[in-house]
Amino acid sequence: MNTLLITIHLIACISLIGLVLLQPGQEGMGVVFGGSSSSFFGSSGAGGLLVKLTVFMAVIFFATSLGFTYKQAQKKSASQESSSVVLEKKEESQDKGQKAGQSSSKPSGAEQGQQE
């Protein structure tokens, strides 16, 4: 599953870069073709088709990015569950420290004899 997601993400990245480079500039000249793109895509130019393809690839790119984020969140939550043992040990050591502190606050037998 992870390999499929990475493959789709890479294809979307490369396609998105290519489609952005094919977009005509303000002068109406495509970056790759060096001239007017109206002869390649009809009288309206490449704007409509390239914009739609670019939006489609951008949606795929964002979807795969969200997929990566979701998978990492699942891995992180699974690793936190396994690390709860460390938290339990820490709590146990704190409880032992508090019990030791309580027993040291009680006067011992020698101290009781001196107080009387």
Domains of the chain, by residue range, sit at 16-73
DSSP 108: -
Looking at residue 77, its pLDDT comes to 84
Residue 79: predicted pLDDT: 78
Q: Is the pLDDT of residue 90 over 80?
A: no
Identity of residue 37 = S
| Average pLDDT of span 75-89 | 67
Quick one: what percent of the chain has pLDDT higher than 90?
31
Reported confidence tier of residue 9, pLDDT bands at 50, 70, 90: very high
DSSP state of 43: T
Q: What is the mean pLDDT of the chain?
A: 74
Categorize the per-residue pLDDT at 44 as very low, low, confident or very high, splitting at 50, 70 and 90: low
Nearest to 10 by CA among 56, 72, 65, 54: 65
User: Structure pTM?
Assistant: 0.52
